[in-house]
Structures are given as C-alpha cells and as structure tokens.
Amino acid sequence: MNRVNKERHVYIFKSPEYFRRFFPNEQPLLKIGMAKDVSKRMEDLRGKCGLFDLARVSDCEDRPMEFYWKVEEVVHTELLNFRRLFNCKKFRNAKGTETEHQEWFAVDEEAALRTVQRWRRFTELEPYDENGILKDHWSRMIQPKNMEHPDAEEQWNDSQSRDIRWTKWLDEGAKECDNV
Ligand SMILES: [Zn+2]
C-alpha cells in the first residue's frame, strides 16, 4: 500500500434523536472512530444499527492522516472515563443476542471535538517514528516531571481544565520541538 492508501479520518458521530428515543434518561452518546470513507461508514452504521439520524459532528480541521490510529488511541485513552457500552437495539450477533458496541462516549460534542483536534495537531508534529514509537523529545515530554498534574480539586469530568492542561503541554512541547 502506498502512503495515501494508509490514511484515514478520525470522526465523531452523533445520533441525538435516536438516543433521545431509546435512552431518554441518558446523555446521548457520541462515537469516535476512524474510517477511510467517512460517509460510507455513516451509511453502514445507519443501516446496520438503525441509527436513523446519524450525522457527523462538524470538524473544520478534518483531514486524512497516516497516524490516524494514534490519534484515535490517544483520544480514546483521554476519554476513557466517559466510555459507555452501547447496547445496540438492532444489530444482533449470530446467537441472536443484543450486541454491545465499543467506541461510544458520554461526552458533549465540544469536548469531544477539542480532544480530537488537539491530538490530531499533536500527531501532525510527527512525534512518532515509522514504527509508531514516540521520538526522544516527546518521550521526555511525557515524563512525570514534564507534565502538569491535575490539582486535587479538578473534577474527573472537568473537560475544560483537562483541555487547558493538555493544550499547554502540547504548546510547550511543540515550541521546544522547533529548537531540537
Ligand atoms: Zn449496532
């Protein structure tokens, strides 16, 4: 495969009406995933899972990337506390039981978008070598002494403080990166 063929988009999907109808007492979930053809993935999910109003959260910084899987991995890790199993109402496996889908998050759109865009920006600084291993500069940046640690009073679901903390870390790393 050539380089372009390996590139994928990281997307955020929402399906607000679906979740209001089937899970009225819960925060609507968002799916954060990766695809080569986002429209096709959306069509697949609409049909397979009955997500009738599935739509993409608008993302003006979207572009296909080679290290899309790193973006997704880091985003999923940051949002781990918001991850939910989505008990699909339509798709049943071979045994006829309901299927639980991965990659769904009870997080608001803005926080999801900020997270995706931040780690996309990080990945564009080419912090990984060809094997997906962090280069020296960024390995140093993730040492505990080079990271700010959340204050005791920061709540686990305080997306804004978390965003500020990581954005600062990224900006500092990017600045030093230029000087290496
Ligand atoms: Zn499904």
In this prediction, residue 91 carries a pLDDT of 62
Q: Report residue 41's pLDDT band, with 50, 70 and 90 as the boundaries.
A: very high
CA of 23 to the centre of ligand 1 (A): 14
Domain locations in the chain as residue ranges: 1-108, 125-180
Residues around ligand 1, an ion, CB closer than 5 A: 49, 88, 91
Determine what percent of the chain is predicted with pLDDT higher than 70. 92
Q: What is the mean pLDDT of the chain?
A: 90
CA of 152 to the centre of ligand 1 (A): 39
User: Of how many residues is the chain composed?
Assistant: 180
**Mean pLDDT of the 68-85 span:** 94
3-state secondary structure of 84: strand
Distance 142 CA to ligand 1 centre (A): 36
End-to-end CA distance of the chain: 32
Q: Cα(118)–Cα(114) distance, rounded to whole angstroms?
A: 6
Read off the pTM.
0.90
Contact 32, 102 (CB under 8 A): no
- Per the listing, tokens 């999923």 go with 76
Secondary structure, 3-state, 105-143: ECCCHHHHHHHHHHHHHHHHCCCECCCCCECHHHHHHCC
Average pLDDT over every residue of 40-67: 94
Q: Determine the average pLDDT of the residues in 61-74.
A: 94
> Percent of the chain beyond pLDDT 90?
73
